[in-house]
Amino acid sequence: MSYTSRLDTVIETPRLILKVPSLKEFEPWCAYMADEESAQFIGHAQQPSTVWRSICTMIGAWQAEGFAMFSVFEKATGRWVGRLGPWEPHGWPGHEIGWGVIPAVQGKGYAFEGTLAAMDFAVDVLGWTDIIHSINPANVNSQKLAMRLGSVNRGPGKLPAPLENERVDLWGQTSDAWRERRSDLWDKVIR
């Protein structure tokens, strides 16, 4: 991977392309966030006006901080399939790598593959020494992904307002632990 400017960041994995979000993804992002089941652990189902603000928040975080979640595209089709990556709004309990992919691609390993790339970006480019994943205790699929990444449940966490009443456990690992296991994890990616 090479980066000239973080705003130009494009990461390719065997099956995915991760890019800085743009409003070009508004319609598929709206469809994803309108689905009650898909959105239950990432802010709940949202109207297009709220989704627009969310995308603009991601775009703005890239401008202001040089990182935020990526828009994820399937290489074979060019289809937007989700958003994942680094995330740390003001008051957040740590440097987070989060994920979410559309139902049509769940179970294909895309969240795992994209998150591997995002973890590498966070450690190698952003210089993060510790990474968390804030996961609702009922979100078994995300817990399984966190375990597959080598993260451990560190116990209950607290999110800032207006999310202070959301229940989350903080899963995580250090950058040193990530460096030790990442080549083995990349070997498990479907090619």
Q: Is the pTM here over 0.85, yes or no?
A: yes
pLDDT value of position 43: 63
Q: Whose structure tokens read 């990526």? A: 70
Whether the pLDDT of residue 33 is over 80: the answer is no
Kindly report whether the peptide bond that precedes residue 162 is cis, defined as omega within 30 degrees of 0: yes
- CATH code for position 158: 3.40.630.30
181 domain-assigned? yes
The number of distinct structural domains making up the chain is 1
The answer to whether the beta carbons of residues 132 and 172 sit under 8 Å apart is yes
DSSP state string for 150-173: T-EEEEEE-PPTTSTTS-EEEEEE
In this structure, is residue 137 part of a structural domain? Answer: yes
DSSP designation for 45: S
Structural domain containing residue 71: 6-186
pLDDT in tens, 65-118: 999 999 999 999 999 999 999 999 999 999 999 999 988 898 999 999 999 999
**pLDDT tens for residues 128-171?**
999 999 999 999 999 999 999 999 999 999 999 988 998 999 99
Is 98 inside any structural domain?
yes
**Given this model, what pLDDT does residue 163 score?**
86
Strand, helix or coil for residue 98:
strand
| Residue 181, pLDDT score | 95
Q: What pLDDT is recorded for position 12?
A: 97
Q: Is residue 191 part of a domain?
A: no
Give yes or no for a contact between 115 and 99, defined as CB atoms under 8 angstroms apart: yes
86 found inside a domain: yes
Query: Would residue 1 count as lying in a domain?
Result: no
Q: Does the residue 119 lie in any domain?
A: yes
